[in-house]
Amino acid sequence: MIRDYSLLLRALSVALGVAYLLALPASPYAASPAIKGLSIALLAALPWVSRPIAGRGLLSAALAASSVGDVLLDIDPERLFVAGLCAFLAAHVVYTVLFVRNAGTPRRVLLAAVLICAAAVSFWIVPSTGALKIPVAIYICAIVAMTISALRSRFGGRVPAGALLFLASDSLLAIAKFRTQIPARDYLVWGTYYAAQYLIATGVLD
């Protein structure tokens, strides 16, 4: 029965994630925040209908915070940008705690690549963020810490892959917002972001 609920939540989450992607040309529309938020909120419920694991509360909290951030940024991406950023900052901090508590063998080559790429993107983007320099810089540190802790965790390949996709998604969003337009930005950002959350959630649980 537990497995049935888990599969149902995963299927519903994927369906909503795909629906949000396909409906991007119609944005903004009334149901958009609900579809976007629920796609991740359903993943936040997964730890409670799956087999018990250590840290399931942390995993659920990180996904729930992400869902809040999704809703805020979908309602008003300009006026609620800092609030949404704070929600995702909280998610990254919780993810980092979860991954640090489950440390494993570090993937040294990937760690070095992440640090080099993150530093390069940061030096390019941060000077263009104006009054948002400090919150953006703090957020970059948080997501890089989350990615590094995922690469050092004992979890299988899905979790590090998800963390890298999360970093890629946020990098695309930041580049498009503060530096230059990216073709098909919304599709790329949502596709990599949703895949990241799904891989992290299922990777930890499985």
* C-alpha distances in Å from residue 112, one per residue of 101, 106, 168, 177: 21, 11, 16, 26
> Over the chain, what is the mean pLDDT?
94
What pLDDT digit, counting tens, does each position of 71-108 carry?
999 999 999 999 999 999 999 999 999 999 999 888 78
Helical H segments across 76-182, by residue range? 81-101, 108-125, 133-151, 158-178
145 near 171, Cβ under 8 Å?
Answer: no
pLDDT for 2 beyond 70 = no
pLDDT for 109 beyond 90 = no
Which pLDDT does position 3 carry in this prediction?
A: 67
- The rounded distance, in Å, linking the Cα atoms of 114 and 30 is 38
Measured at the CA of 17, the angle between CA 16 and CA 21, to 5 degrees, comes to: 110
Closest CA to 90 of 57, 65, 56, 59: 65
Mean pLDDT of 155-167: 95
Give the pTM: 0.94
Q: Residues of the chain with pLDDT > 70: what percent?
A: 99
Q: How many CB atoms lie within 10 A of CB 157?
A: 10
Which pLDDT does position 159 carry in this prediction?
A: 96
164 near 119, Cβ under 8 Å?
Answer: no
